[in-house]
Structure 1
Amino acid sequence: MENKSNEATPQRPEGDRTLDAFLVTMDLNHLIAQVQNEPSWNDSDRNSITIFKSDTMRIVLIGLHEGAELKTHTANGIISVQVLEGHIRFTTAPETVELQKGQMLALHKRVPHSVIALKESFFLLALAMG
């Protein structure tokens, strides 16, 4: 397997981090701090960072300020959402659930859903694609 890394950008000048390899480790506390220290966190209602990306799976750390909303959308694969900090409301047409630190959900592909942060929140979004 070829290791895949990202390149440094003005947003993330410390640059290289492995996105795909035989084994990828992730320091979630460090990544949350990184997201909080970037200009995007201060300049908007959210910030995120992709921490794993392969042909069949993506993992994204998403931070939302209180009141921030991810408008209704769908995913082209099964997703899981795991709250690391905070409190979110996750809504689908038939059901709405609230998740706090230590809770998670799974949702099948192409189900319309939205997310709102009831307080400042960080969560992992994992997307598994067929």
Structure 2
Amino acid sequence: MTMEIKSNHSTGNRPEGDRILDAPYVFTDIPMYLEQLRSEKSWTKNDRNAITVHKSGKVTIVIAILKSGAVLNDHSIDECLTFQVLSGELKVETEGRVFYTTTGQMMSFHARVAHSVKAMADSEILITTYKE
């Protein structure tokens, strides 16, 4: 049985073309994507930038960068979520508790668990969402 290879389509923000998002295996050069994110107009205009590097029917992986002070309030999704801090520091509030996550640390959330995130420093994160 062969698997259909899925890729994105070029956009105005990323006109350079397709990137493989799902295949029997997907190699991801995280430092290259971090460099790309910092070189895009979105990064100079906004307090965050992100790129999807894998997307299947059950799992999505995103690399994101946040400028110090960037805030994501009352975020909740219908899938489970983990994020790993590659560099920087995030303040995470959920269910009345506050956590400070730093380089090498990770947090996981079940579906529909509301949380707020604030970048306490410029930060790089690896986000994975998945269906239970």
TM over 0.5: yes
Q: What letter is aligned with 2:4?
A: E
The equivalent residue for 1:25 is 27
Point out 4+ residue stretches in structure 1 off by more than 3 angstroms.
none
The equivalent residue for 2:112 is 110
Alpha-carbon offset, residue 51 of structure 1: 0.8
1:39-58 equivalences in 2 (<5 Å)? 39-58=41-60
1:79-118 equivalences in 2 (<5 Å)? 79-118=81-120
Q: What letter is aligned with 1:97?
A: F
Partner of 1:111, secondary structure, is: coil
CA distance in 2 between counterparts of 1:102 and 1:16 reads 30
Q: Does 1:14 align with 2:16?
A: yes
Partner of 1:31, secondary structure, is: helix
CA distance in 2 between counterparts of 1:85 and 1:12 reads 24
Partner of 2:12, secondary structure, is: coil
1:114-125 equivalences in 2 (<5 Å)? 114-125=116-127
Alpha-carbon offset, residue 94 of structure 1: 2.9
Partner of 1:119, secondary structure, is: coil
TM-score if structure 2 supplies the norm length?
A: 0.94
Q: What letter is aligned with 2:128?
A: A
Unaligned runs of 5+ in 2: none
CA distance in 2 between counterparts of 1:87 and 1:122 reads 9
CA distance in 2 between counterparts of 1:76 and 1:22 reads 26
CA distance in 2 between counterparts of 1:32 and 1:52 reads 15
CA distance in 2 between counterparts of 1:25 and 1:94 reads 38
Q: Report the aligned-residue RMSD.
A: 0.9
The equivalent residue for 1:127 is 129
The one-character-per-residue Cα deviations of 1:85-121 (angstroms, maximum 9, x if unpaired) are 1111111023211111111111111100011100100
CA distance in 1 between counterparts of 2:73 and 2:97 reads 16
CA distance in 1 between counterparts of 2:57 and 2:98 reads 30
TM-score if structure 1 supplies the norm length?
A: 0.96
